[in-house]
Every structure is written in C-alpha cells, then in structure tokens.
Amino acid sequence: MGGLLFDISDEHITQEHDALESVKHRGRAHCGIKHFSCDDLNVTLGVRHNLISDLTDAGRQPISYENGESWIILDGDIVNHFELRRVLASEGYSFKSESDAEVVIAAYSRWGTKCLRYLKGMFSFCIYHQEKRKFFIARDRVGGKPMYFINRYRCFRVASEVKQFLNIPDFKPQFNSEMLYYYLSTGMTRRKTKTLWQDIYELPPGHYVEQSLHGWSPGCPLMAQCWYKLNFNIVPEMDFAETADDYRDRLMESLKNQLNHNYPDGFRLSGDVNTAVTACLANELSGGERIKTFSLSSEGNYPDNIRAATGVAKAIRAENHIIEFKSMDFLMDYDMMIYTNDFPFEFERNICNWMLYAKGHCENRIIIDGEGASQFLFGNLDFYWAYLNRRMFNESATTFFSDLRRFKWTSQKPWLKVINKLRKNAFGRNPILAETVVKKEFLVGEKEMLNDFMPEGGRDKLLAVALQDILMMRESLHFLDRCAAQGKCELRHPFLDHRVIELSLRMPFHFKIKDGLTKHILREAFAKLLPNNIYSKSDIIDSEFVTGAKWQRLLFQTLLLENIDDILREPYVNRDELAREMRKFTTTKAAFSPVIWRLIAINRWKKVFNIQNQ
C-alpha cells in the first residue's frame, strides 16, 4: 500500500506538504521525497508507503537506478518480481535491494514501455528519468491501484487520491455536469479518463503515459496509451474438462503468487463459492497451520451467509473471526466513507467492505478476497435473467422451461416476479430512471447520452450485462483500495489475475451457468475441495437495491429525511417525479430507487468536500 505524488510545478514540496500528509494512512511506515529541476519548474517524486517486498532501508522509495539517473515510486505489488529479477540478472542487470519497485525500473530500462506486459499484480507507478527529462506513469490491467492526474498551466500532478489536489493554488472543487448525469444514470463516477470531479482525470486501467519534457510543459495535451484490453471473443469449441483443469491450475498459481510476501495472511469468507475456494486452497497450501478467516454477521443473515461461512471454516479448521455488522454504524460513518473514497458510492456491498476492512479488524494483514469471480463467472442475478432471456429465444420450449424451473428453485423467487422480469427483459426497454427524476437538459443540454451509457453488447443482453458488471468493478476496486488503506491492511484478488480473467472470457456461457447455478466451472474445478453445502449452494448475488430488511429501509428513510430539502433545491432535480418515487417507497414495499440514493450521495459528497454548483 502506498500514496504516490509526482508533481511538475512552481511549488517546492516537502515531506510535510498536504499532498503527502493527506495520504499518510496509505503508508505509515515511510515517507520519501526526491527533487529535480526542469527549466524554471520543480519536479518532485514523493511517496508514503509500507515496506512489503523489502523490509530494510534499501526498500525505501523513491528508488533509483542507472547510477541515479532514473527514479521510481510504486503503489501496490509485483507478485512475480522474483522471477523477473532472475531474468534481468541473467542479462547483466544488478540490484541493490529486494524491492519489487527496483525490478520495475530495471525492466523499464530493459524493455521500455513493453515492460508492462511482463508485470503481474496490482500496481500504479511513476518513473522519472532526469537525464532524458522524461516521465512514465502506468496502471495495472484492471485498476486495482488508483492513479489520478491534473494538467493545467504550470501544474501537472499525479496522485493516488483526489485529496492530494485540493491544496493546489486556485483549485476550486466543482463537479463535472456531464459526469454527474452519468453517475445518476449508471452509478459510475468515472468514464475513460473523466471523473465526477471537474478537471481531475483518472488514468484508466491498462493505460500508460510516457512523455518527454522536451517541448512539453504542464497544461499541454497528454495522450494515454492502452497497453492492455480485455478480449471478449468466446471460443465455442472449448472442452469443459480440459478448461476446468486449466482454470484450476491458473487460479492455484495466482493464489500462490499472492501469498508470497512477508506479512500475516487473512482470508475473506462470506459464504459464497469464490471465497470458499480461496480459503480451502490456502488451507491446502498452509502445511497444517490454521488459517485466519474474516466474516460479517448481523440481523437477517446479512451481509454474509454466516451459516455457510462458518461451515467452511469448521470444515478446514480455520480460525474464523466474525465481525458484528451494526447498521447504525453506517449513519455515523457515512460522511467519513465519502471522504475516504473521494467520490459518492453505491450502497450494495460497499457498506460491508467498509465495516470489515476499514475498521481495523484486519490491521497489518494481507487479505485474500474473492473479487472478480462474480463479474467474470456470471455471479450476479442480472446475468441469469439475461441468460434465461437468451434461452427463451434460442432453445426449445422444453429446454427453456427446464432451465426456468431450476432457476426458480435455486433463487427462491416468486413465480410472478420471475415471469414479470422475463417479460420486461424480452419485450420492454429498461428505462434509465435518471431520465425522469433528473432534468437532463440542465446537466448535458440536448446531447443524447443514452447510447453512451449502454455497453457495446449489441442485442446480446448477456454480453451487455457482463460488460456493465466489469465497468462497475472499476468502482468497487477503488472503494476496496480505500477501505484497506483506512484499515491498515492490503487486499489481493486471485480471481483478477490476467491469466484467470482471459480464460474466463474465452469460455462459452454454459460453462458459467448450468442447472440453476452460477460459477459452474469454478464449482466443478474444485468439487473435491469444496464442502458439499457450498458446492450445491445457490451463489446468485441479487442486484435488487433493497434486501427487504427492516433496518435497511429505516436507514434509507433516515438519510432521505436528512437530505431531501437540499436535494429539492438542486436546479437539475424534477420535483414531481422525485416526489412520486418517494411516495412509492414510503407507502409500498417498493425497492428504494437507485437514483434517489445517488442524489443523497451527491448531496453528502458536495457537503464533505465543499463542492459548489457551476
């Protein structure tokens, strides 16, 4: 974990500068800084970080290479740095530390920007070569580690968190009106390089910028280059048994890489298939030592399936730590969650991640979680709706109704709800509620935005849902990173290893959904390892906004009462439509509208950061 700062400006930045102090929580062990000059501007590399791969002083960043000509700051970890070190050493490259950051800068010296294809792990980094007067910034394949930048006249700054920009002279916190409408419509606060913050940009996952300062200065255009892109080309002729073996081998290798570090381990155990697999695999690799697992418990068996989680922990003799989930803690922590995240966030499971990771329960540990399995193995309920929709039109009536009965049995959904949902998916357009509750013309003018918000899935709703879920993962990874930094722990995601992802994307859909169950290939690949109750358990994540729990409805009502007056004063809100949605929620059992939640989140975000309307 680390907090990066790369700055080219008039400022002389010290270790006590707000841009480094504001991310002290990202690296309490060490603060390092290196200054350079470039014409009449100052160039600064600064970092707050914890030592992971090299615990000695030699691992302190910034780290130099090539006799001090090039320097690097790195957030994250390169899980294959031992292997890369051996390859580079065989070609004559030498090292003075055990740090993975030094391996990255040596790899850049050897292969240039192509070094990125050799790196495995979650990372973001900045390299500055003072003799060549050139910088290189890059981000990992899926966006596990953050990187933002601002580029204005005589000030170019790269940082891990938005808070590091707030002290820039003459910077005024404002929202991007187009991105505000995008967030209200989709729940996503970033798109390509744009973010909800005006003039603050994000380097997208799988992108880099390499820029010479000869002829370029802050405020001039920058071009981000894509070095990694997901391939959604399915291979229909894949053999299931061979693919299951390959998937098992890749996930096993990924987990072994994630466990190669100097800190105590911990394992998320939520009662679903993916966290059960990682915990059972880790138990196999532990050599008889008991592993530590972490679960959440509260009323209504929410958010974790505690019975299933404790069953897995008992089967593998894990030391299971159950943290009590208190719903009222959310109301007390809500503004702090927004401040920590820098952005509004969706409710869903983010509140669970905050309660587990940000409260210090996993302090000084590296936690292995199951993020990525649901996105790439169709764990969300929306995948199954789209799958049934596809089967309804492409299979025989007998096959379709057989699938429908199995889905009804595993999901425990009422028949009426199942039929109505299928009808809407097949014959109706799913409207974006923001089109009615929000005055689109006030935020984006007459620009047509609907097509911009829909993933490129064509008429294939299953592929469109997959793309949407992967896009939303960019938000969840951001929030997970912030929770871990706040709680002094580090998260690692074996299912997001690029080799695991690439195999998942090539699989035919029926490898992922079968007999009313999702994540089919994961179950079969580890059938001998999983307890029977997990192997056959429905693992569908319901995307309905409200679970039906009384505490959740009460929580939403409380937030609505606290924020409704401010929301109604917003010039872009359609009061009549908003009132209609509110009545629907307060007088019936209707789910809480996602758009109303987002309006509340925007209001709190604006207050936390003192953001003014344009």
Q: Which pLDDT score, from 0 to 100, does residue 539 have?
A: 67
CB under 8 Å to 348, separation ≥6 — which residues? 543, 545
Q: Using an 8 Å Cβ cutoff, are 478 and 354 in contact?
A: no
User: Residue 513 in 3-state DSSP?
Assistant: strand
CB under 8 Å to 572, separation ≥6 — which residues? 180, 438, 439, 442, 443
β-pair partners for 561: none
Q: Which pLDDT score, from 0 to 100, does residue 225 have?
A: 97
Taking only the tens place, the pLDDT of each residue in 204-222 is 999 999 999 999 999 999 9
CATH numbers and ranges of domains, the chain? 2-226 (3.60.20.10), 240-379+466-535 (3.40.50.620)
Q: Which pLDDT score, from 0 to 100, does residue 200 have?
A: 97
Identity (one letter) of the amino acid at 570?
A: E
Q: Which pLDDT score, from 0 to 100, does residue 459 have?
A: 53
Q: Which pLDDT score, from 0 to 100, does residue 53 have?
A: 59
Q: Which pLDDT score, from 0 to 100, does residue 553 have?
A: 78
Q: Which residues of the chain have pLDDT under 70?
A: 52-56, 299-304, 348-349, 381, 385, 393, 395, 407-413, 416-433, 446-462, 539-549, 614
Give backbone dihedrals phi and psi of 211, rounded to 5 degrees, phi first: -140, 125
Quote the pTM value: 0.91
320 CB neighbour count, 10 Å cutoff: 21
